[in-house]
Amino acid sequence: MYFKKNFNKSFNILLLRILIIFVFILVSFFIIIPLLPLFLKSFSDNKNNFIGLENFINYIQNPSLTQSFINSLKVAITTTFFSVLIGFIYAYALTRTRLPLKKFFNTFSLFSLYIPPLAVAIGLIYIFGKQGLITQGFFGTIPGFDINLYGFNGIIIGEIFYCFPQALIILVSALNLSDQRLYEAAESLKASPLRKFLTITLPNIKYGLMNSIFICFILSFTDFGVPKVVGGNFNVLATDIYKQVVGQQNFAMGATISIYLLVPSILAFLIDKNFQKNEASLISGKSIPFKPRKNLIVDSIMFIFCSLILILVIGVFSSIVLASLIKIWPYDISLSLQNFRFSNVAGNGYEPYFNTVFMSIYTAIFGTIFVFFTAYLVEKFKPLKKIRMLIYFFSTLPIAIPGLVLGLSYILFFNKPSFSVPFLDFQIFNPFSLLYGTMGILVLANIIHFFTVCFISATTTLKQIDKEFEEVSESLKVPFYKTFLRITIPLSLPTILEIGSYYFVNSMITVSAIIFLYPAKIPVSSVSIVNMDDAGDTASAAAMSTLIVLTSLFVRLIYEFTSRNVSKKSSVWINPLET
């Protein structure tokens, strides 16, 4: 008979399995498991006695709390409608018309991505607030106009600022996938412009459209920053949670409201996921990109529309900067840097700012490594299919977990030194509790809070890299990790840089995930904006906002510069392969 060589299971496959299981444990402990104490809490009183649905019943019976739920829905639906509408028109102008100054409009449209929603709200105060530029008619030079900022109006305007660029990014990429040939075929069949729009354009972008609706809904339903600053007496779920937890130390009710916030988000997430499942590309690899024709009327209308949007965005940003530089608005409008001292506010000076910068740097570094490696293990290998599918599912989930809910669940999970096993008198040490009260927990919360977008972008890139590279390496007896370092990472470098900069910018501006989590000895700037604004020191809040925006923009510039260098270097091999 044949000499049977006794091959042990290959070391590489074993290593791979261990890594996949390791990553599975991490994502479970960082994403899913922390939600459990939150659920438990919502069924308990503040002394940890199980009380069943009592919290939920109390909630429904409290008219002011139920009003918040309705308010949140109102805000979310209105914001979603306008953000997607404006985002769509703007995206259409960028991709399907001969809009003049397209590059300029393209670059500056995303400007508000770098402004924390909190700062947007502060900017709005200086434009539309009681002493605002427009309300007072530019310090009384022209008749004023009051839009009644505090309350629903202010929240909607702020949220649209926040959500519009998110919708725009998705819709631009959806509209960019077009096939000139389809339009030419329709034209040869004498289809009207409306018919072409309804039968070609709309079906092609329906997944992008649905996705942008989902994103805008979740962001505006769960946002904390804008309603905190300009909400006035108009309560929403997010501000309620904050009040219950920070104001009244009522964790049980905070957890209960979190569930009310979480459930619609998860529902929207599942609807969107189910919808995207059917996605099949209508655009083939051979398609020819759409080339818009000149149309004076459409192009001019679009130009006016996009200009208006940009004027608003730049207006809000300028008012933040201006507010930070003016001594005492509106009484002494001479310029000074005194607001940048932060000395009279809680006495923390620049500490919160530098804490935030370091937190963002750590988030960018560790988040990028973790997210990319997770996506790589999920996307490129065959073993443990079910576990990889679960990792994938868990990784897409954080987008539906509101920052406040994540923060609250992290407190409840990470401050426990040990877990008790139900029905058994047995305690297990919680190693993650070591992170509690350190910068580590802030970094971790940020990594998870923004995980989904980064994960999807890493997965998309990895999908585009030929799966046969791994097979070739196997046939050449090169272990997978060498190919990962030598081939996969260099080919993904543009995306890796993009993820890093996304993590950095979002960690700079975020408030919701960390407001419950930051340890007293590590103050962070977005929280100090909230506190300064609460204390009525709006000018210092504006100054801190300005610092955050400028830092984000600076990092983004570094990113643009680096990625341009990278793409120059790699242009030799990025040219599409001739087949």
Partner 1 sequence: MIKKEGSFKYLEIKNISKNFGETFVLKNIHLDVFKGEFLCLLGPSGCGKTTLLRIISGLERQTNGDIVQDGLLISNSPTEKRDFGIVFQSYALFPNLNAKQNIAYGLENKKINKKEIEKRTNNLLRLVGLEKYSDQFPSQLSGGQQQRVALARAMALSPGLLLLDEPLSALDAQVRSKLRNEIKLIQKKLNLTTIMVTHDQTEALSMADRVVVMERGHIAQIGTPFELYENPITPFVADFIGKMNLLKGKYDKKNCVFYYLNNRFLISQNTEYSFLENCLLGIRPEDIEIIKFRKNIEKEENILRVKIKEITYLGTIFRLTVVLESKLEENIFVDVISNQVISNNLKIGDFIDIKLKKEKIKLFESNL
* Contact positions vs partner 1 (CB under 8 A): 2-5, 7, 9-10, 12-13, 466, 468-469, 471-479, 482, 486-487, 490-491, 570, 572-579
Q: Which is nearer to partner 1, 380 or 449 (CB)?
A: 380
Q: Which is nearer to partner 1, 107 or 464 (CB)?
A: 464
Q: How far is the CB of 482 from partner 1 (least distance, A)?
A: 7
Q: Which is nearer to partner 1, 141 or 575 (CB)?
A: 575
- CA neighbor of 505 nearest in space, from 556, 570, 429: 556
Cis peptide before 34 (omega within 30 of 0): no
Structure tokens at 20: 């996949």
Q: How far is the CB of 438 from partner 1 (least distance, A)?
A: 39
Q: List Cβ neighbours of 252 (8 Å cut-off, separation of 6 or more).
A: 41, 42, 44, 45, 46, 55
Instruction: For 512-550, give the DSSP string.
Output: TTTTTT--TTS--HHHHHHHHHHTT-HHHHHHHHHHHHH
Q: How far is the CB of 365 from partner 1 (least distance, A)?
A: 23
Q: Do the beta carbons of residue 424 and residue 506 sit within 8 Å?
A: no
Give 281-284 contacts, CB < 8 A, sequence gap 24+: 281/177, 282/179, 282/203, 282/204, 283/177, 283/178, 283/179, 283/204, 284/179
Which position has the token pair 């670059």? 107
Q: Do the beta carbons of residue 361 and residue 442 sit within 8 Å?
A: no
Q: How far is the CB of 475 from partner 1 (least distance, A)?
A: 5
Q: Which is nearer to partner 1, 418 or 460 (CB)?
A: 460
Q: Which is nearer to partner 1, 184 or 471 (CB)?
A: 471
Q: Which is nearer to partner 1, 10 or 418 (CB)?
A: 10
Q: How far is the CB of 364 from partner 1 (least distance, A)?
A: 24
Rounded to whole angstroms, how far apart are CA atoms 39 and 47? 15
Q: Which is nearer to partner 1, 304 or 577 (CB)?
A: 577
Give 481-486 contacts, CB < 8 A, sequence gap 24+: 481/15, 484/376
Q: How far is the CB of 569 from partner 1 (least distance, A)?
A: 10
Q: Do the beta carbons of residue 423 and residue 444 sit within 8 Å?
A: no
Rounded to whole angstroms, how far apart are CA atoms 19 and 26? 11
Q: Which is nearer to partner 1, 425 or 468 (CB)?
A: 468
Q: How far is the CB of 25 from partner 1 (least distance, A)?
A: 25
Q: How far is the CB of 486 from partner 1 (least distance, A)?
A: 8
